[in-house]
């Protein structure tokens, strides 16, 4: 397979400074709405990049569950690899890869833990099977077979019956508080449009065009 021949041209309309919102949060909300309205599959999927104690990066896709001016929220097993790496280094990077719209958004920031009440509120909104799965999976730990995972899921399903499933003590939420954004729009001839938002010391966002 010759991967050097895999390429395509980007033909989307340009991104101009005058069209950008002064707030990166409002700009993100606008692009997210476009992604949802366009019917993209998993428009809220974002890559979360973390770093371990030896400086080795890792990333994975999770689903964005809330965003506002306070930050970007996701939920996970608090004993997972990502959670353990966040505990050691709360600096993370997010990526929204909206390739079908020839767009991507990069976000950098610091993670803070969500309160138990907020985690419970969201946990109760999850489908019952997803609640059981949160209990059944020791996320990121070695698993000798899928059968063991399915057996544990079945055991928990029987244990909890039709009653309320409690919030696991090892499950919760994180909020990424951004201090940098980048909005990327594909353009012809690889002359892409890129704009960064950087949080200044006075609390204002500085917007700059970046070379592609």
Q: Which residue has the higher pLDDT, 13 or 65?
A: 65
Kindly state the average pLDDT of the residues 30-58: 97
Superfamily of domain 15-125+164-210: Electron Transport, Fmn-binding Protein; Chain A (2.30.110.10)
Helix or strand or coil: residue 61? Answer: strand
Summary mean pLDDT of the chain: 96
Token pair of 28 as six digits: 């993100």
Q: Distance between CA 196 and CA 24 in Å, rounded? A: 9
Dihedral (CA of 50, 114, 32, 212) sign: negative
Kindly state the average pLDDT of the residues 103-119: 97
Token pair of 106 as six digits: 């990069």
pLDDT above 90 coverage of the chain, percent? 94
Q: What residue spans define the domains of the chain?
A: 15-125+164-210
Q: Which residues are catalytic?
A: 190
CB 95 within 8 A of CB 106: yes
Query: Does residue 145 carry a pLDDT above 80?
Result: yes
Token pair of 9 as six digits: 């041209």
SS3 breakdown of the chain: % helix, strand, coil, rounded to 5?
A: 30, 35, 35
Q: Distance between CA 113 and CA 86 in Å, rounded? A: 10
**Element (H or E) spanning 205, and its range?**
strand 205-210
> Can you give the pLDDT at residue 7?
82
Query: Does residue 9 carry a pLDDT above 90?
Result: no
Token pair of 93 as six digits: 């990077």
Token look-up 């993209």 returns 40
> Can you give the pLDDT at residue 10?
85
Q: Distance between CA 31 and CA 105 in Å, rounded? A: 9
Query: Does residue 1 carry a pLDDT above 80?
Result: no
Query: Does residue 156 carry a pLDDT above 80?
Result: yes
Query: What phi-psi label fits residue 203: left (phi over 0), alpha (psi between -120 and 50 degrees) or beta?
Result: left
> Can you give the pLDDT at residue 78?
97
> Can you give the pLDDT at residue 17?
97
pLDDT by residue (tens digit) across 63-76?
999 999 999 999 99
């Amino acid at each position: 397979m010759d991967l050097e021949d895999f390429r395509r041209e980007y033909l989307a309309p340009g991104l101009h400074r005058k069209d950008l919102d002064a707030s990166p949060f409002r700009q993100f909300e606008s692009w997210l709405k476009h992604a949802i309205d366009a019917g993209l599959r998993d428009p809220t999927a974002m890559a979360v990049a973390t770093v371990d104690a030896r400086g080795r990066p890792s990333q994975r896709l999770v689903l964005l569950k809330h965003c506002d001016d306070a930050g970007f929220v996701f939920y996970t097993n608090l004993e997972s690899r990502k959670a353990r790496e966040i505990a050691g280094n709360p600096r993370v990077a997010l990526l929204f890869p909206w390739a079908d719209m020839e767009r991507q958004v990069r976000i950098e920031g610091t993670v803070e833990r969500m309160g138990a009440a907020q985690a419970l509120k969201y946990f109760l909104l999850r489908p019952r099977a997803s609640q059981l799965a949160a209990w059944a999976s020791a996320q990121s730990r070695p698993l000798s077979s899928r059968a063991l995972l399915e057996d544990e899921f079945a055991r928990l399903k029987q244990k909890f019956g039709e009653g309320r499933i409690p919030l696991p003590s090892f499950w919760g939420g994180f909020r990424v508080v951004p201090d940098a954004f980048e909005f990327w729009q594909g353009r012809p001839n690889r002359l892409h449009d890129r704009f960064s938002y950087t949080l200044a010391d006075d609390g204002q966002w500085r917007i700059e065009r970046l070379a592609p």
